[in-house]
Amino acid sequence: MKRLAVFASGSGSNFEAVMRALQEGRLTGAQVALLVCDKPGAYVLERAERFGVPVLLFDPKTYPDKAAYETEIVGRLQALGVELIVLAGYMRLVGPVLLHHYEGRIINLHPSLLPAFPGKDAIGQALAYGVKVTGVTVHFVDAGMDTGPIIAQHPVRVEPADTAETLAARIHEVEHRLLVQVIQALVDQRVAMDGRLVTITEP
């Protein structure tokens, strides 16, 4: 059973998608051992309570630097035997401490077809640019902002009448499916990385 930690800063719809997939047997061989959240009051905390998932809640402003709070996080992850970190709406760059301990075992979900529209408000960026197709990317995390090797992508068409809300709704639907698929592939050890080239073999 592979133990996961999900990091989230906001609503946590992707956290809920993972938990529901586990409950319904669409994601097997995995267990979410911890939710890590940097935003007191975030709705994802209520979701974690509902699913009975332990929470590590921290306020970065109360630590001297990123290394200090990441050291605390790593200690908790290691104590729980966490093997894979899933960033699902976690709005902070991962620092050297987490990367050192979990290199190649941290994935991030991003609402665009990277390398297009990295960083914050990728959906707004796509609309402002006028692209006809955007999408969802799941990638390994490195020291850059949304620059790690890409594991999987799925396109989402931008309709002429789309607003940020309508486009986000369709992107979230794809996120929920794609994230679960990638986690399952990682749990099944069907993901291989050679430099920046990542391949997934069929089950």
Positions marked active-site: 110
From 12, 25, 7, 137, select the one nearest 84 (Cα to Cα). 7
- Return the amino acid letter for 12: G
- Degrees (nearest 5) of the Cα angle 30, 101, 71? 105
Q: How far apart are CA 141 and CA 103, in angstroms?
A: 8
Q: Where are the beta strands (DSSP E) in the chain?
A: 2-8, 30-37, 55-57, 84-87, 106-110, 133-140, 150-157, 191-194, 197-200
> Could you tell me which of 44, 36, 40, 38 has the C-alpha nearest to residue 13?
44
Place of tokens 């430099």: 195
